[in-house]
Amino acid sequence: MLSKVPSNLPPHLNIDLIRKYLNSGNLARARQLFDGISQPDVRSWTVLISAYTKNGWCKEAIELYNKIKNSGKICPDKLALLAVTKACATSRDLAKAKEIHSDVLRYRFNSDLLLGNALIDMYGKCKYIEGAERVFDDMRITDVITWTSFCSCYVNCGLPDEALRVFREMGLSRIKPNPVTLSSVLPACSALKCLNLGREIHGFGIKNWMGENVFVNSALVDMYSNCSSIKHAELVFRSMPQPDVVSWNAIVSAYFSNGECWKALKKFQEMRNQGVKLDIVSWNSVISGCVDNGKAQEAMELFRHMQQVGARPNQITITSVLTACTFLECWREGKDIHAYIFRHSFMEDVAASTALVLIYAKSGDLKMANRVFSMMPLKDTVAWNTIIIANAMHGRGEEALLLFNEMVASGVKPNSVTFTAVLSGCSHSQMVDEGLSIFHSMCKDHKVEPDPEHYSCMVDVLSRGGRLEEAYNFIQKMPVEPSAAAWGALLGACRIYKM
């Protein structure tokens, strides 16, 4: 490799040299050479954007694209738009994704098939189904990639019914599914427990020479497992001549999903003994599988071994390990992971940050729990519920109620768990009127139907507030059978107030 870059090279030689640096992984040197070009053309910009995206520098890739657009000298072409669309898809940056979609329309590429497919994939990764639907409806020409991406989009957005509808429409449109299509639609069968349809797709795959495709078989293993047909999952796995890491991950996850933890761990060890190169999904599958099956200690041991072999944890790993720390009450180890989260910019991950909030709350450090929550750039319903529960269990009912109001004001919809948490906070802080107000707002304002647990919480609110007659009358008028918890709350209060 050249140590010194000659000046005034022809544009095509500049690009070739930049590519050599990029292919060798020397992005800094490639950027230095690029910055030395007096008037880089759109091709040079596109090469750099693609390389940045490939190496995980998606934010920088998008910034490079914006420099092209804002320069006023160069107009982004189709390849530049494809490159930045990939960056938005990889980074899951919905705001930027919408901007790129607008640029595709502005530069009159809306009828381009490749860009249309890329936009659908981008919106699917960003979990924005409305955008994907808009692109799909506007496309004049579609192919198997279009339909496959659209199916995947619905699956990613948690709409498996719609994914199956699109798959059926694809058949009516006489577009033949390929292996990627089958591996994309089978997760919808898994989510809906559609074993019969899954078997039909399996049969279609065999008839159309897709029976040995590792992606299809991995999806089949997952589908049969989720449909409680572990024997069929085993048969599919054993039929594979050379299962790859994806297939091994699928069968390990299948055993965990079926509650067969020791079989899963045995399979994981077999996978390692056969020299299969583990990826991050392999480690996440076995660690989260142990946590989900109540084997928190084993999860922690696997996490330590993962670090010993040099595998780098990601946000999913961290979330599972923090959950294990909570089960085992390993507060110090959980707090040590906070530093790792901060160093690797995982605070943007809602699940990891929420697990960290719970660690601090459970360890008694409510101040730090609130601080971590306030630093979260994104907060979903689970995150809000966690911080409300944290304040409620520490007897800070007023703070729990304030957080609930902030949650509603931010546009996040409360669910059943939210109201249980808020009512618990009102109960422990003897905020009777506030509790009654929250309870009555459930169905009226938030369309959440109270369940037996909410009624029990409300009895507890009234009882702890000393309004025992109201609590008794509330029990008498409940539309559900009073639980032992409801009667227990009232009887406990009777002893306190010596009724």
Q: What is the pLDDT of residues 440-453, one digit of tens each?
A: 898 888 888 888 88
The predicted pLDDT at position 147 comes to 96
Which band of pLDDT confidence, cut at 50, 70 and 90, is reported for residue 14? low
The predicted pLDDT at position 225 comes to 87
- Residues with Cβ within 8 Å of residue 110, at least 6 apart in sequence: 104, 116, 138
- Looking at per-residue pLDDT, the higher value among 469 and 264 belongs to 264
Domains and CATH numbers, the chain: 39-165 (1.25.40.10), 393-499 (1.25.40.10)
pLDDT tens profile 308-318: 999 999 999 99
DSSP string, 402-458: HHHHHHHHTTPPP-HHHHHHHHHHHHHTT-HHHHHHHHHHHHHHH-----HHHHHHH
The predicted pLDDT at position 1 comes to 43
Alpha helices per DSSP H over 24-93: 27-35, 42-54, 58-71, 78-91
The predicted pLDDT at position 470 comes to 72
For residue 156, the surrounding DSSP H or E stretch is: helix 144-156
pLDDT tens profile 81-92: 999 999 999 988
When the pLDDT of each residue in the chain is averaged and rounded to a whole number, the result is 86
100-133: b (≥16 Cβ within 10 Å) or e? bbebbeebebbebeebbbbbbbbbbbbebbebbb
> Phi-psi region for residue 275, left (φ > 0), alpha (ψ -120 to 50) or beta?
left
367-385: average pLDDT: 94
pLDDT tens profile 192-204: 999 999 999 999 9
pLDDT value at 482 more than 70: no
110-120: average pLDDT: 94
- Specify which of 5-9, 255-259, 339-343, 347-351 reaches the highest per-range mean pLDDT: 255-259
The predicted pLDDT at position 244 comes to 87
pLDDT tens profile 270-305: 999 999 999 999 999 999 999 999 999 999 999 999
The predicted pLDDT at position 8 comes to 54
129-133: average pLDDT: 95
The predicted pLDDT at position 237 comes to 92
The predicted pLDDT at position 453 comes to 85
The predicted pLDDT at position 495 comes to 58
Q: How many CA atoms lie within 13 A of 33 on its CB side?
A: 28
The predicted pLDDT at position 318 comes to 93
The predicted pLDDT at position 2 comes to 44
Which band of pLDDT confidence, cut at 50, 70 and 90, is reported for residue 71? confident
The predicted pLDDT at position 445 comes to 87
CB contact at 8 A, 106 and 98: no
- Residues with Cβ within 8 Å of residue 278, at least 6 apart in sequence: 245, 271, 272, 311
- Looking at per-residue pLDDT, the higher value among 208 and 7 belongs to 208
This prediction's pTM? 0.72
Cα–Cα distance, 87 to 100 (Å, whole number): 10
pLDDT over 70 percentage in the chain: 87
Both structure tokens of 363: 């360890």
> Phi-psi region for residue 194, left (φ > 0), alpha (ψ -120 to 50) or beta?
beta
The predicted pLDDT at position 345 comes to 76
CB contact at 8 A, 31 and 48: yes
Cα–Cα distance, 269 to 291 (Å, whole number): 18
pLDDT tens profile 48-57: 788 878 877 7
> Among 413, 414, 373, 410, which Cα is nearest to 390's?
373
Range in 186-195, 274-283, 427-436 with the lowest mean pLDDT: 427-436
The predicted pLDDT at position 33 comes to 66
CB contact at 8 A, 120 and 88: no
Cα–Cα distance, 493 to 499 (Å, whole number): 8
Both structure tokens of 403: 């957080």
pLDDT tens profile 101-113: 999 999 889 889 9
